[in-house]
Copies of this chain bind each other. A is one copy, B any other.
Amino acid sequence: MDKFLRVNMTTKELKTEAAPEKYAALGGRGLTSQFVLDEVPATCEPLGPFNKLIFAPGLLSGTNAPSSGRMSCGGKSPLTGGIKESNSGGTPSQKLANLGYKAVVIEGKATAGELYLLKLTADGAELLPADYLAGKGGYETVRVLQEKYGKKTAVIFIGPAGEMQMPSAGIGASNIEGLGDRYFGRGGMGAVMGSKGLKAIVIDAPKTFDVPVKDKERFMAASKKFAKILLDHPVTGQGLPAYGTNVLMNIINEAGTLPTRNFTRGRFDDANMVGGESLAEACNARGGKATHACHPGCVMRCSNVFILPDGTQMGKIEYETAWGFGPNAEINSLDVVGELNYICNDAGLDTIEAGATLGVLMEAGVVPFGDGKAAIEAFKEVAKGTPLGRVIGAGATFAGKLYGITRVPTVKGQAIPAYDPRSCRGNGVTYATTPMGADHTAGYAVTANILRVGGFVDPTKDEGQVDLSRNLQIATAAVDSTGLCLFVAFAVLDNPEALPTVVEMLNAMYGLSLTGDDVVALGMSILRAEREFNKKAGFTKEDDRLPEFFYNEELAPHNTKFALKDELDEVMNF
Q: How far is the CB of A53 from chain B (nearest CB, A)?
A: 15
- Which of B43, B78, B402, B541 is A391 in contact with, Cβ under 8 Å? B402
Chain B neighbourhood of A401, CB < 8 A: 78, 167, 394, 398
Q: How far is the CB of A124 from chain B (nearest CB, A)?
A: 31
Number of A interface residues, CB 8 Å? 41
Chain B residue nearest to A413 (CB atoms) is B401
Chain B residue nearest to A81 (CB atoms) is B542
A48 to B401, CA, bound (A): 12
Once the chains bind, are A390 and B402 in contact (CB under 8 Å)?
yes
Chain B neighbourhood of A542, CB < 8 A: 42-43, 536-538
Mask of A492-536 contacts with B, CB within 8 angstroms, 1/0: 000000000000000000000000000000000000000000001
A388 to B391, CA, bound (A): 9
Mask of A147-166 contacts with B, CB within 8 angstroms, 1/0: 00000000000000000111
Mask of A382-411 contacts with B, CB within 8 angstroms, 1/0: 000011101101100010011110100000
Once the chains bind, are A548 and B391 in contact (CB under 8 Å)?
no
Q: Which of A116-168 contact B (CB under 8 A)?
A: 164-167
A184 to B513, CA, bound (A): 67
Q: Which of A160-202 contact B (CB under 8 A)?
A: 164-167, 191, 194-195
Chain B residue nearest to A50 (CB atoms) is B548
- CB pairs A–B below 8 angstroms (28 shown): A42-B542, A43-B545, A44-B548, A45-B547, A45-B549, A47-B404, A48-B549, A50-B548, A165-B403, A167-B401, A167-B402, A195-B404, A195-B406, A387-B387, A387-B388, A387-B391, A391-B391, A391-B402, A393-B402, A394-B402, A398-B398, A398-B401, A398-B402, A536-B542, A537-B542, A538-B539, A538-B541, A538-B542
Chain B neighbourhood of A166, CB < 8 A: 402, 404
Q: How far is the CB of A244 from chain B (nearest CB, A)?
A: 33
Say yes or no: is A543 at the interface (Cβ < 8 Å to chain B). yes
Say yes or no: is A573 at the interface (Cβ < 8 Å to chain B). no
Could you tell me which A residues sit within 8 Å of B by CB distance? 42-45, 47-48, 50, 78, 164-167, 191, 194-195, 366, 386-388, 390-391, 393-394, 398, 401-404, 406, 536-543, 545, 547-549
Once the chains bind, are B164 and A404 in contact (CB under 8 Å)?
yes
Q: How far is the CB of A200 from chain B (nearest CB, A)?
A: 18
- Which of B45, B191, B386, B406 is A387 in contact with, Cβ under 8 Å? B386
A167 to B540, CA, bound (A): 23
A191 to B400, CA, bound (A): 13
Chain B neighbourhood of A545, CB < 8 A: 43
Once the chains bind, are A47 and B406 in contact (CB under 8 Å)?
yes
Q: How far is the CB of A544 from chain B (nearest CB, A)?
A: 10
Q: How far is the CB of A326 from chain B (nearest CB, A)?
A: 24
Q: How far is the CB of A85 from chain B (nearest CB, A)?
A: 21
A541 to B388, CA, bound (A): 35
Q: How far is the CB of A404 from chain B (nearest CB, A)?
A: 3
Chain B neighbourhood of A191, CB < 8 A: 404
A547 to B401, CA, bound (A): 21
A547 to B44, CA, bound (A): 9
Chain B neighbourhood of A540, CB < 8 A: 538, 540
A536 to B540, CA, bound (A): 10
Chain B neighbourhood of A394, CB < 8 A: 398, 401-402
Max count, chain B CB within 10 A of own CB: residue among A44, A165, A195, A547: A165
A393 to B539, CA, bound (A): 27
A539 to B391, CA, bound (A): 26
A7 to B404, CA, bound (A): 22
Chain B neighbourhood of A78, CB < 8 A: 401
Chain B residue nearest to A565 (CB atoms) is B43
Chain B residue nearest to A543 (CB atoms) is B538
Chain B residue nearest to A194 (CB atoms) is B404
Taking A191-B404, A394-B398 as given, write out 5 further A-B residue pairs in contact, using a Cβ cutoff of 8 Å, ordered by the A residue number.
A47-B406, A165-B404, A387-B391, A536-B542, A538-B541
